[in-house]
Amino acid sequence: MNAPVDYLLHLADNALILGQRNAEWCGHGPILEEDIALSNNSLDLIGQARLLYQHAAEQMGKGATEDTLAYFRDVPDFRNYTLCELPHMPLMAATSAGDRDFATTIVRNFLYSSLMVLVWDQLQNSKDAQLAAIAAKSLKEVRYHLRHSRDWLVRLGDGSEVSHAKAQAALDQLLPYTQEFWTTSPQESAALANGTGIDMAALQNDWNQIVSEALQEATLQRPAAGGFVPTGKQGIHSEHLGFVLAEMQSLARQHPGAIW
Amino acid sequence: MPSTTVTESEAKQSMDCRAALAMTSSAQRAWDLLESLSDPEIPVVSLRELGILREVREGAEGLEVVITPTYSGCPAMGQIEDDVKAALATAGLQATVVTQLAPAWTTDWMTDAAKDKLRAYGIAPPHACASAASGSANVVQFAARGAKAEVVHCPQCGSGNTTETSHFGSTACKALYRCLDCMEPFDYFKPY
């Protein structure tokens, strides 16, 4: 039994786009250890994306490879959560420049990792044996990502006035985007129906518990939910994804088929 | 059982998945050649000792060497595949290298001998991690309380008075530590 291709792409695109975002810290980390940590985190995510793309490409045939999926699809083809594509900075227009905000990076990684420890854990029982194998590996990795981002969340939130304010601002901006986790997309319904996917709604309580405990320890206030619900996993993205893809794909598109 | 099965002492040392397998003589030859092939990042231990080299078998299209990645994004996998092919080529053997994900690699497969070698090389070996298995309840607990603070001993002076500098180190599989007695920094191979 194979998971629907669009479902695999949803999982892969989440990992690739967040991996690409975290890689933006490579060479720019606030301290050397964080530079290395975020690069490691990125490496894990890109590794997960590769395994998922390879699995999807095998089913797609017609010359599809992990590279065609990563480098030769456009914005509406990507199925990642909008949360993963946002820049590391407080809300601003896509063409505006701003300093990378470490708190935004940490809060995003925390919200995503808190979800994925639950998702990968459940997907270990997927009827798609290869997806189950990828889930078992990814679970081990995301536990480290959660530990890393959660430690920093507490340190920033329960730190100085400045670090607390930055962490709270990042949380206020990003938490509403997590509403997308609990809406249903066609690929998630298809995967749930054939036993290869999972019921996301069933994870919401556990996710809330992980988030609430961490926020409490970090002395951060959980903003009210509501408002705009993003639709990235259905291919309708924020203006930011195009800029991520432009940077990520330009080399492959200038030199199609190039290898080294 | 065919006459070419691995010997009892070899089987004891092997991982379960391999022990059950019958080997042809060319598979056995390949295995002997690969036995000493070292990890590209940590040359003091072999791929077999790390648990990356899983199986050598006679497939429909010739020899197949099965390897498994440590971390999903481990950049050494391409090098390892090349090293395996090159080592076999020196003996005139050709093989396909198959990457297999399940069961997921774990540091628990590392032999005691390999752990001693890591320590002598300056890398603190991993603690057992089998208990941190799956189950969402465990995951929540893990997140809330953090990992149980296992004492990581300094590979230089043996002191248990050490502190973690960073969860992430020079490679995906290692963390950065510092000894508070001899003050030397060192790598810790993370339980995975």
Handedness of CA B101, B48, B191, A31 (dihedral sign): negative
CATH number of A5-87+98-223+233-254: 1.20.1260.10
Average pLDDT over residues B153-179: 91
pTM for this predicted structure: 0.88
CATH number for B45: 3.30.300.130
Confidence of residue B171 (pLDDT cuts 50, 70, 90): confident
Task: For B168, name the nearest residue in chain A, comparing CA atoms only.
Answer: A37
- Asked whether the beta carbons of residue B139 and residue A50 sit closer than 8 angstroms, the reply is no
Beta-carbon separation of A47 and B73 below 8 A: yes
The answer to whether residues B134 and B95 belong to one domain is: no
Region B58-72: mean pLDDT is 90
| Whether residue B169 has pLDDT greater than 90 | no
**Which of B140, B165, B172 is the closest to A40 by Cβ?**
B172
What is the nearest CA distance from B190 to chain A, expressed in angstroms? Answer: 10
| Residue ranges of domains in chain A | 5-87+98-223+233-254
- For chain A, 260 residues long, give each residue's pLDDT as a single digit of tens: 999 999 999 999 999 999 999 999 999 999 999 999 999 999 999 999 999 999 999 999 999 999 999 999 999 999 999 999 999 988 766 567 778 999 999 999 999 999 999 999 999 999 999 999 999 999 999 999 999 999 999 999 999 999 999 999 999 999 999 999 999 999 999 999 999 999 999 999 999 999 999 999 999 999 987 899 999 999 999 999 999 999 999 999 999 888 87
* Cβ–Cβ pairs < 8 A, chains A and B: 108
Give me the pLDDT at residue A101, please: 95
Q: At what angle do helices A102-123 and B136-145 cross, to 10 degrees?
A: 150
Global ipTM: 0.81
Query: Is residue B138 situated within a structural domain?
Result: yes
Q: What is the pLDDT of residue B136?
A: 38
Q: Crossing angle for the helix pair A102-123 and A204-217, nearest 10 degrees?
A: 150
B192 reaches A (C-beta below 8 A): yes
Q: Give the domain-ending residue among B70, B105, B140.
A: B105
- For chain B, positions 49-88, list CB contacts with chain A under 8 A: 69, 71-75
Does residue B114 form part of some domain?
no
Based on the structure, what is the number of domains in chain B? 2
Predicted confidence at residue B138, as pLDDT, reads 42
**B131 burial level (CB within 10 Å; 0-12, 13-18, 19+):** exposed
B118-136 residue pLDDT tens: 999 999 999 887 644 444 3
Task: Provide the pLDDT for residue A90.
Answer: 82
Q: What is the average per-residue pLDDT within B65-71?
A: 93
| B104 and A CB contact within 8 Å | yes
Shortest Cα distance, chain B CAs vs residue A115, angstroms: 11
- Residue-range definition of the domain harbouring residue B87: 8-105
Q: Does A240 touch chain B (CB under 8 A)?
A: no
CB contact under 8 A, B136 and A137: no
Answer whether residue B56 is part of any domain: yes
Does B13 share its domain with B101?
yes
For position B139, what pLDDT does the model report? 42
Contact A45 B104 (CB under 8 A): no
The percentage of chain B sitting over the pLDDT mark of 90, rounded to a whole number, equals 50
Is the Cβ of B170 closer than 8 Å to some Cβ of chain A?
yes
Asked whether residue B182 carries a pLDDT value surpassing 50, the answer given is: yes
